[in-house]
Chain A
């Protein structure tokens, strides 16, 4: 059997997962211009919210996911209010914000570990076999298809939001110049809260879907975030479409990279790609 079809599908699956992470990350970065590492923890919060409502309390699947989106969105807004907004008002450097968000990541991770233990958990209720689709000898599961489709839908949705709504135009204005946006009468604090809500909810959604695909553990956020950030940087940080392209490029390079050599090289390849971009095309594929 030729493994190329499966390699392509694997690359697409990985790319779709990175897309979900990169989308919200880029949205937040594009607006407030700092590396929000706490974003990784929100994916974890999303996964654990579904775990709590769906698996522990036995809620309906769609309802549980919806609650998870609300929880992560609200936590995102709350973190912005309590931590990032005051720091930004004080004109703290992006370094300070980065360190603060690292604190958020570590804190949320620790809280989740205390509440739910650091055991690796699966989200599916029955350990039965997942629905599997076969295309030309390559295999993709139902959950992975949902990750792919929703990733692209969210990208399209964000594009529509940014270009065709008043709210989106305000986001773009803040992203261009926050001071000027304020002067022309945009309620920047309200818009930034909205961005944090949407971005964090996307992270929560990503965490939930990844939880259904593989499983959840408190430390899952950081490794997801790292790959999402690589995708964002390759694609052009802050650029919503660039993030998607970067995610798929990363997925393909990672998976085809270990085609002829042994699998333990995967991470080395991913980070080498990041370094190549940082050295030779620091603005990424798409410049903002």
Chain B
């Protein structure tokens, strides 16, 4: 190698080092306060539960736009990255990994389904990312960690309410249970059984099935055989459409009491008329103005569960970031101290990030929609 070539090589190396160093230096010095604040959204945008998740997304979009119109968070724009969680643990985990590692969000609004949140929650806790669910209700989520919050009540409330409603209002003494064998279904039916037995009721059979199953005939035949007063059915929407059709074919006329997943408008249309169908849903003080705002963009005729909560979550996160910045520990402490009266009601957290109180209503599915039972 001639001296000339060597010199040229050294010059090239030098240029690369100096140039690279300059660029690194520059990128570090970039003023951080005008870059947008990124938060993530996870919910079922396709598949099971997507008629709920897509409306939830609309609420987040509107909240973020409103905040940005009012000048953003301390002058920084709020940017939301939307990912599909499909109510499914694997998909939700992939979505969360992308949000945490690639988009580097400081908080995730989501998921809707407990199967989503319980799957990606632990990884988010390890990466110190705030998880703020608007619809996951599995009691087991309370143990997730200090960066977890939810504006939707835990099923330890819903299961108790459902048991009391079945016993006191529906006057049921013997109950059969058909549930989906996932975080949400097993969590809620365990609480239900405990409370219902405390009240003096009897559980005749407990039949489970995986969420994806489309044949409930034998489970239903067993349930029909025991002649229960009420069938408690914490099932997800897609499975419910099949199960309730098969129940009707089998000639089951017992009253069904479902969980908040039956707040899915698509499912209500599909199963309307398939027997007496009640379900328990968190009570929300939705204003007409909010409903109109959502429906104008979603194009549907219902504001399903989680929508108001998702909207409130964005506001709570934005105001907490404005106060505490994006440091995860400061942010978690600020959110925990929040007292907020939002569209979904009074939001106040206990040490697990759960709501301190919750109120429920019972709705009945009829004419393709759901009405509150007085």
Which A residues form the contact surface with B (CB < 8 A)? 1-3, 6-7, 10, 13-14, 113, 117-120, 122, 127, 129-130, 132, 139, 141, 214-215, 217, 219-220, 223, 254-255, 258-259, 262-264, 266-267
Q: Is the CB of B218 within 8 A of A10?
A: yes
Q: Is the CB of B181 within 8 A of A264?
A: yes
Q: Is the CB of B224 within 8 A of A3?
A: yes
Q: Determine how close the nearest CB of chain B comes to the CB of A228; give it in whole angstroms.
A: 14
For chain B residues 31-59, which have a beta carbon within 8 Å of chain A?
Answer: 46-48, 50-51
Chain B residues with CB under 8 Å of A259's CB are 218, 222
Contact status of A1 and B225, CB under 8 A, knowing A10-B217, A132-B249, A258-B219:
yes
Q: Is the CB of B222 within 8 A of A139?
A: no
Q: Is the CB of A139 within 8 A of B249?
A: yes
Q: Determine how close the nearest CB of chain B comes to the CB of A269; give it in whole angstroms.
A: 11
Q: How far is the CA of A120 from the CA of B213 in the complex (A)?
A: 12
Q: Is the CB of B212 within 8 A of A223?
A: yes
Q: Determine how close the nearest CB of chain B comes to the CB of A151; give it in whole angstroms.
A: 16
Q: Is B62 an interface residue (CB 8 A)?
A: no
Q: Is the CB of B241 within 8 A of A263?
A: no
Chain B residues with CB under 8 Å of A119's CB are 46-47, 50-51, 266
Q: Identify the interface centre among B205, B241, B249: most chain A CB within 10 Å of its CB.
A: B249
CB-nearest residue of chain B to A131: B249
Q: List 3 tightest A-B contacts by C-beta distance, closest first.
A: A264-B208, A263-B219, A120-B238
Q: Is B209 an interface residue (CB 8 A)?
A: yes
Contact status of A262 and B206, CB under 8 A, knowing A120-B48, A217-B238, A223-B212:
yes
Q: Determine how close the nearest CB of chain B comes to the CB of A65; give it in whole angstroms.
A: 20
Q: How far is the CA of A10 from the CA of B238 in the complex (A)?
A: 21
CB-nearest residue of chain B to A224: B214
Which B residues form the contact surface with A (CB < 8 A)? 46-48, 50-51, 86, 178, 181, 205-210, 212-219, 221-222, 224-225, 237-238, 241-242, 245, 248-251, 266, 269-270, 272-273
Chain B residues with CB under 8 Å of A14's CB are 215, 217
Q: Is the CB of B181 within 8 A of A214?
A: no
Q: Is the CB of A118 within 8 A of B46?
A: yes
Q: Could you list 29 examples of A-B contacts with CB < 8 Å?
A: A3-B224, A3-B225, A6-B217, A6-B221, A10-B217, A10-B221, A117-B50, A118-B50, A119-B51, A119-B266, A120-B237, A127-B270, A130-B249, A132-B249, A139-B249, A139-B250, A214-B214, A214-B242, A215-B214, A215-B241, A219-B212, A255-B217, A259-B218, A262-B208, A263-B178, A263-B222, A264-B181, A264-B208, A264-B209
CB-nearest residue of chain A to B208: A264
Chain A residues with CB under 8 Å of B205's CB are 262
CB-nearest residue of chain B to A143: B249
CB-nearest residue of chain A to B206: A262
CB-nearest residue of chain A to B207: A263
Contact status of A264 and B251, CB under 8 A, knowing A7-B221, A127-B270:
no
Q: Identify the interface centre among B86, B206, B217, B225: most chain A CB within 10 Å of its CB.
A: B217
Chain A residues with CB under 8 Å of B50's CB are 117-119
Of A117, A214, A223, which is within 8 A of B46 by CB?
A117
CB-nearest residue of chain B to A14: B215
Q: Determine how close the nearest CB of chain B comes to the CB of A49; give it in whole angstroms.
A: 19
Of A120, A139, A267, which is within 8 A of B241 by CB?
A120
Q: Determine how close the nearest CB of chain A comes to the CB of B57; give it in whole angstroms.
A: 15
Chain B residues with CB under 8 Å of A113's CB are 46
Chain B residues with CB under 8 Å of A258's CB are 218-219, 222
Q: How far is the CA of A264 from the CA of B86 in the complex (A)?
A: 22
CB-nearest residue of chain B to A258: B218
CB-nearest residue of chain A to B242: A214
Q: How far is the CA of A197 from the CA of B216 in the complex (A)?
A: 33
Chain B residues with CB under 8 Å of A254's CB are 218
Chain B residues with CB under 8 Å of A13's CB are 217
Chain A residues with CB under 8 Å of B219's CB are 258, 263
Chain A residues with CB under 8 Å of B207's CB are 262-264
Q: Is the CB of B208 within 8 A of A3?
A: no
Q: How far is the CA of A258 from the CA of B210 in the complex (A)?
A: 14
Q: Determine how close the nearest CB of chain B comes to the CB of A132; give it in whole angstroms.
A: 6
Q: Determine how close the nearest CB of chain A comes to the CB of B300; give it in whole angstroms.
A: 14
CB-nearest residue of chain A to B221: A6
Chain A residues with CB under 8 Å of B272's CB are 127
Q: How far is the CA of A42 from the CA of B340 in the complex (A)?
A: 52
- Given A3-B221, A129-B249, A214-B215, 20 more A-B residue pairs with CB atoms under 8 Å apart are A2-B225, A6-B250, A10-B217, A119-B47, A119-B50, A119-B266, A120-B48, A120-B241, A141-B249, A214-B245, A217-B47, A223-B212, A258-B219, A259-B218, A263-B208, A263-B209, A263-B219, A264-B207, A264-B209, A266-B209
Q: How far is the CA of A259 from the CA of B212 in the complex (A)?
A: 21
CB-nearest residue of chain A to B178: A263
Q: How far is the CA of A11 from the CA of B51 in the complex (A)?
A: 34
Chain A residues with CB under 8 Å of B216's CB are 263
CB-nearest residue of chain A to B47: A118
Chain B residues with CB under 8 Å of A7's CB are 218, 221
Q: How far is the CA of A262 from the CA of B205 in the complex (A)?
A: 8
Q: Determine how close the nearest CB of chain A comes to the CB of B249; give it in whole angstroms.
A: 5
Contact status of A255 and B248, CB under 8 A, knowing A117-B46, A119-B47, A120-B241:
no
CB-nearest residue of chain A to B180: A264
Q: How far is the CA of A127 from the CA of B218 in the complex (A)?
A: 23
Q: Identify the interface centre among B208, B212, B214: most chain A CB within 10 Å of its CB.
A: B214
Q: Is the CB of B86 within 8 A of A118?
A: yes
Q: How far is the CA of A85 from the CA of B248 in the complex (A)?
A: 47
Q: Determine how close the nearest CB of chain A comes to the CB of B273; give it in whole angstroms.
A: 7
